[in-house]
Chain A
Amino acid sequence: QVQLVQSGAEMKKPGATVKVSCKASGYTFTSYYITWVRHVPGQGLEWMGWISGYDGKTKYEQSLQGRVIMTTDTPTSTAYMELRNLRSDDTAVYYCARRAPSSGGWYFDFWGRGTLVTVSS
């Protein structure tokens, strides 16, 4: 069955970098896109961007441009999300999710359980 297993919780200081992993199994990694979404406490879900499992092409939310980098490692079917120059308002639960097979819609059929990233001095 499809699974997305994320790395464990992280605690970082302001200005640091965090890298969250998302290991996929149960499907052909290169046939799907992975998206990253975060849930800031007390707020809604925020889409961060996506990466193609096929060719590594990316699209990022404009407000995160220059701070976020999404990558994949095809041999291990793992996607990564790196966020640089962390601020306190980056404290959130970060999710990876698989884009559903469809004729073009960007919605997501399988999600990881989330990785809590806490940014505090």
Chain B
Amino acid sequence: EIVMTQSPATLSVSPGERVTLSCRASQTISFNLAWYQQKPGQGPRLLIYDASTRATGIPDRFSGSGSGTEFTLTINSLQSEDFAVYFCQHFNDWPLTFGAGTKVEIK
């Protein structure tokens, strides 16, 4: 199975900052990657699919990039509602697998 590795595990940032989260696949997955945001007590929220396409209703401060094995989620000008855990997920083949997540916390 494809192992998805996210870094860092935790990111401490101040509101208004720009953050960059990384996700690496153990083998090439083309552009078959999604990013999710999760807050306590809620299910994940789809942010990005196909590595760089924003899902419906997602603000343009969220952007995704990358292909192959290296992917990045960037959040420009972090807002208070953006403090959460972010997961990546590949959908290149079976089984689907997720990264362990990056927690973005208030500095």
A contacts, CB < 8 Å to B: 4, 35, 37, 43-47, 59, 61-62, 95, 97, 100, 102, 105-109, 111-114
Contact in complex: A45, B98 (CB < 8 Å): yes
Check: B13 CB closer than 8 A to any chain A CB.
no
Contact in complex: B91, A107 (CB < 8 Å): yes
Contact in complex: A105, B45 (CB < 8 Å): no
Q: List 6 contacting pairs A-B, 8 Å CB cutoff, sorted by A.
A: A43-B100, A59-B94, A105-B32, A105-B34, A107-B34, A107-B91
Contact in complex: B43, A97 (CB < 8 Å): yes
Q: Which 7 A-B pairs have the closest CB atoms?
A: A111-B43, A107-B34, A106-B91, A45-B98, A44-B100, A47-B96, A107-B49
Check: B59 CB closer than 8 A to any chain A CB.
no
Contacts of B87 in A (CB 8 A): 44-45
Q: How large is the interface on B (under 10, 10 to 19, 20 to 34, 35 or more residues)?
A: 20 to 34
Interface string of B30-51 (1 = CB under 8 A from A): 0010100000011111100110
Contact in complex: B98, A100 (CB < 8 Å): no
Contact in complex: B46, A100 (CB < 8 Å): yes
Count of A-B contacts judged by CB separation below 8 Å: 59
A44-B87, A45-B87, A45-B89 known; A107 vs B99 contact (CB < 8 Å): no
Contacts of B98 in A (CB 8 A): 37, 44-47
Contact in complex: B43, A107 (CB < 8 Å): no
Contact in complex: A112, B46 (CB < 8 Å): no
B contacts, CB < 8 Å to A: 32, 34, 41-46, 49-50, 55-56, 87, 89, 91, 94-101
The complex places the Cα of A47 from the Cα of B92 at a distance, in Å, of 14
The residue that B96 contacts in the complex, of A62, A106, A111, A112, with Cβ under 8 A, is A106
Contacts of B89 in A (CB 8 A): 45, 107
The complex places the Cα of A57 from the Cα of B44 at a distance, in Å, of 25
Contacts of A108 in B (CB 8 A): 34, 44, 46
A59-B94, A105-B49 known; A44 vs B101 contact (CB < 8 Å): yes
The complex places the Cα of A46 from the Cα of B98 at a distance, in Å, of 7
Chain B nearest CB, measured from A30 CB (Å): 22
